[in-house]
Copies of this chain bind each other. A is one copy, B any other.
Amino acid sequence: MKSAIEIANSAELLPITEVAAAAGILPEELVPYGRDRGKVKLSILDRLASRPDGKLVIVTAITPTRAGEGKTTTSIALTQGIGRLGGKVMLCLREPSMGPVFGVKGGGTGGGYSQVMPMEDINLHFNGDSHAVTSAHSLLAAALDASIYNGNPLRIDPVSITWPRTVDMNDRELRYAVVGLGGKAHGIPRQSEFVITAASEVMAIFALASDLKDLRRRLGRIVVASTHDGLPVTAEQLRVAGAMAVIMKEAIRPNLVQTLEGQPVLIHAGPFGNIAHANNSILADRIALKLADYVVTEAGFASDLGFQKFCDIVCRTGGFGPSAAVLVTTVRATKSHGGKAFNVLGNEDLEAVRGGIDNLAAHIQIVRRYGLPCVVAVNSFPTDTERELALLKELALKAGAETVVVHEGFARGGAGGVDLAGAVMAACKKPNSFTF
């Protein structure tokens, strides 16, 4: 089999204008960035306001292990599978940030024959959203220190500052710093920190905004410090919320790309799960729900983090809800949870499968507690044995799974995801009692 990069490099992409047209986006609603990428204008939401929403499928996973579970690959395989079955489908994903890309290697564009394209562009600057977040964040930081420097009219207590600086790079050396050195002309000394752009509060805020005006308001409410009297100081008071919103005016438009099999994909916003909600933007979800019958969206980390935040924060704020959840696991990861060492995960071990099932069961319960049918998707590996797969299915069903489907999206693309697609589409048709 060809490597992920070979597959990506030999892929023939549709012009983004064709992808958009097939998805129902009008030419004047698409802002092309070269041949393969584009942004979708928010005016599309006005045009389609009266159209009913499609079905929303949220993809989550068991607790991550070193073995990997393939959540993004499964999301793409599912999307391609629905496409093969003739469903009108759209996928929503988070944006990878440059920092981790250079720091840790490997982006967030899937693998094998289940990828989104153009891979390298998406993993680098993409359409500049991270840069816009960095710039808006930096403007607020600079304005805050400038206000203190220029007579401090807001009576900000420098020691109370909680607004860090940000950089879109894994740069250990910047984490803790003393800034404002060099004497009177160069600021006021204080301790400061840098966070990666994905951990910027601006990233989290922009993923929740409903339009530019709403973003403007949300930015204005950011608290960055307190006064000597203990009162909060906001971006609004520093008079930069407007400029921050202007900086974000292109970033707020969801980015349109495609799967290897031509299904439309919106990739938009990438807030970290440790400090934010770990899901793509609400705007991407909303547009997709108006355009497609099935919208697949992926939550960060495991169900106890990204999935819960999706239900509690994203759905609550966005005013929508999922029809089904897909919980991704693998035989290998299950065995890893069962205590098997990484270098022998390829050997058949039914006891390890049994031992690792508790983790899967806990995540199934989390999904069910939100009133959703839980389709367990087993991302297959060449080393999986029939007996392991059978045992995993049996145990997952016992633990409360709606269905358990093995997929071969990595090796076979959409063809390998058809069974999963069928199961998910069926689950969506059932009534559910989603609640947050």
Contact = CB atoms under 8 A, between A and B. Distances in A.
Nearest to A175: B186
Interface stretch (A124-132, A284-292, A329-337): A124-132
A181 B177 contact: yes
Contact of A181 (B102, B124, B191): B191
A138 interface: yes
Given A31-B34, A131-B128, A243-B102, A184 B160 contact: yes
A178 B173 contact: no
18 contacts: A31-B35, A32-B34, A102-B142, A125-B247, A125-B250, A131-B131, A135-B169, A141-B173, A142-B170, A149-B173, A172-B180, A172-B186, A173-B188, A173-B192, A175-B186, A176-B186, A177-B179, A178-B189
A174 interface: yes
A61 to B, nearest CB: 28
Interface in A138-193: 138-139, 141-142, 145-146, 149, 158-160, 165, 167-184, 186-192
A253 to B, nearest CB: 10
A342 interface: no
A33 interface: yes
Interface of A is mostly: mixed
Interface of A: 31-35, 39, 98, 102, 120, 124-125, 128, 131-132, 134-135, 138-139, 141-142, 145-146, 149, 158-160, 165, 167-184, 186-192, 243, 246-247, 250
